[in-house]
Structure 1
Amino acid sequence: MPEISEPRPEGEQPRSIRLTDPRALRAYAHPLRMSLVGLLRSSGPFTATKAAELTGESVASCSYHLRILAKYGLVEEAPGGKGREKPWRATARYTEWPEYSEDATVAEAADALMAAIAERYFERVTRAMERRHTLPRKWREAEQFSDSLLFLTPEELTGLGEQMGALLRPFEGRESDPSLAPEGARAVSVLRIAYLEQDIPHNKEAE
Structure 2
Amino acid sequence: MTDARALRAYAHPTRMRLVGLLRAQGPRTATQAADLINESVASCSYHLRMLAKYGLVETAAGGRGREKPWRATARLTQWPTHSPEPAVAEAAEAVELAAVERYSELLSAAIETRRSLSRDWQEAGGISDVLLYLTAGELSAIQQQIDALLRPFEARETRPDSRPPGARLVQVIRAGFPVPRVTASGPAGQRRGQPGRRAGPPTWQRQGMEQCRPHRRRTAAGRAWATPQERSRQRRTRQQRARQQ
Q: TM-score range by the shorter chain?
A: 0.7 to 0.9
Q: Aligned residue for 1:139?
A: 121
Gaps of 5+ in 2: 184-245
Q: 1-side partners of 2:138 and 2:162: how far apart?
A: 33
Match of 2:77 among 81, 85, 95: 95
State the shift of 1:104 in Å. Answer: 0.6
Q: Aligned residue for 1:193?
A: 175
1:111 aligns with 2:93: yes
State the shift of 1:23 in Å. Answer: 1.1
Q: 1-side partners of 2:36 and 2:106: how far apart?
A: 16
Say which SS state the counterpart of residue 189 (structure 1) adopts: coil
Query: Is the alpha carbon distance of 1:79 and 1:128 closer, same or farther for their aligned partners in structure 2, counting shifts above 3 Å?
Result: same
**1:52-74 deviation line (CA, Å, top 9, x unaligned):** 11111111111110000000100
Say which SS state the counterpart of residue 112 (structure 1) adopts: helix
Q: Aligned residue for 1:161?
A: 143
Q: 1-side partners of 2:148 and 2:120: how far apart?
A: 26
On the 8 A contact 1:47/1:85 being kept in 2, the answer is: yes
1:31 aligns with 2:13: yes
Written as runs of structure 1 = structure 2, the 5 A alignment for 1:38-53 is 38-53=20-35
Say which SS state the counterpart of residue 71 (structure 2) adopts: strand
TM-score by length of 1: 0.84
Q: Aligned residue for 1:177?
A: 159
Identity across matched positions, percent = 60
State the shift of 1:200 in Å. Answer: 7.0
Written as runs of structure 1 = structure 2, the 5 A alignment for 1:50-69 is 50-69=32-51
Q: 2-side partners of 1:130 and 1:42: how far apart?
A: 20
On the 8 A contact 1:74/1:91 being kept in 2, the answer is: yes
1:122 aligns with 2:104: yes
1:150 aligns with 2:132: yes
Say which SS state the counterpart of residue 188 (structure 1) adopts: coil
Task: Answer 1 or 2: which has greater helix percent.
Answer: 2
Give the counterpart letter for 2:92 in structure 1.
A
State the shift of 1:134 in Å. Answer: 1.4
Give the counterpart letter for 1:192 in structure 2.
R
Structure 1 runs (4+) deviating above 6 angstroms are: none
On the 8 A contact 1:49/1:85 being kept in 2, the answer is: yes
State the shift of 1:197 in Å. Answer: 1.1
On the 8 A contact 1:22/1:106 being kept in 2, the answer is: yes
Query: Is the alpha carbon distance of 1:88 and 1:163 closer, same or farther for their aligned partners in structure 2, counting shifts above 3 Å?
Result: same
Bigger Cα displacement from structure 2, 79-88 vs 109-118: 79-88
Q: 2-side partners of 1:65 and 1:176: how far apart?
A: 26
Q: Aligned residue for 2:61?
A: 79
Give the counterpart letter for 2:166 in structure 1.
G
Q: For the aligned residues, what is the CA RMSD?
A: 1.4
Bigger Cα displacement from structure 2, 52-61 vs 169-178: 169-178
Give the counterpart letter for 1:90 in structure 2.
A
Give the counterpart letter for 1:171 in structure 2.
F
TM-score by length of 2: 0.72
State the shift of 1:183 in Å. Answer: 0.9
Q: 2-side partners of 1:80 and 1:58: how far apart?
A: 22
